[in-house]
């Protein structure tokens, strides 16, 4: 029974963490609203948001696997969100020839794939560093 309760607790914490992360990302994208764009069929934004979900959940999965206490997962979830935001902003800064945000709004699928890849890569790196 304890395992069932722990599983439910980890699931709820993970779901809430992902939702908080997506809410924060919605706030930092100033030129468009993620879910409006996805609803309008913007594949690039969908790829970018999907990458963020996968990146954060990778970190949470490693945290759950390596944590002794549930609060460890909450801390690593917060770290994951912050690192994903930093990664997003760094990609925006490093792509001087174009604005990632503008390109995502314009449904540039190549930029959506880049954003997805950065998020997944960061998730794997941060997740693997959790010991």
Spatial distance between the Cα atoms of 85 and 108, rounded to a whole number of angstroms: 20
- Global pTM reads 0.87
- Nearest one of 20, 54, 48, 18 to 33, comparing CA atoms: 48
Report CA torsion sign: 109, 96, 121, 127: negative
The tens digit of pLDDT for each residue in 57-87 reads: 999 999 899 888 888 889 988 888 888 888 8
Around 47, how many Cα atoms within 13 Å sit in the side-chain half-sphere?
20
Name the residue ranges covered by the structural domains of the chain: 2-129
Q: Work out the widest C-alpha separation in the chain, in whole angstroms.
A: 56
């Amino acid at each position: 029974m304890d395992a069932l309760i722990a599983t439910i607790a980890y699931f709820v914490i993970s779901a809430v963490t992902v939702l908080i992360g997506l809410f924060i990302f919605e706030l930092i994208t100033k030129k468009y609203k993620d879910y409006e764009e996805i609803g309008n069929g913007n594949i690039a934004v969908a790829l970018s948001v999907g990458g963020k979900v996968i990146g954060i959940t990778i970190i949470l999965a490693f945290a759950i696997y390596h944590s002794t206490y549930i609060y460890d997962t909450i801390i690593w979830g917060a770290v994951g969100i912050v690192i994903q935001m930093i990664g997003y902003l760094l990609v925006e800064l490093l792509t001087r020839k174009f604005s990632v945000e503008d390109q995502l709004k314009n449904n540039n699928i190549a930029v959506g794939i880049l954003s997805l890849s950065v998020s997944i890569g960061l998730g794997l790196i941060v997740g693997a560093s959790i010991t």
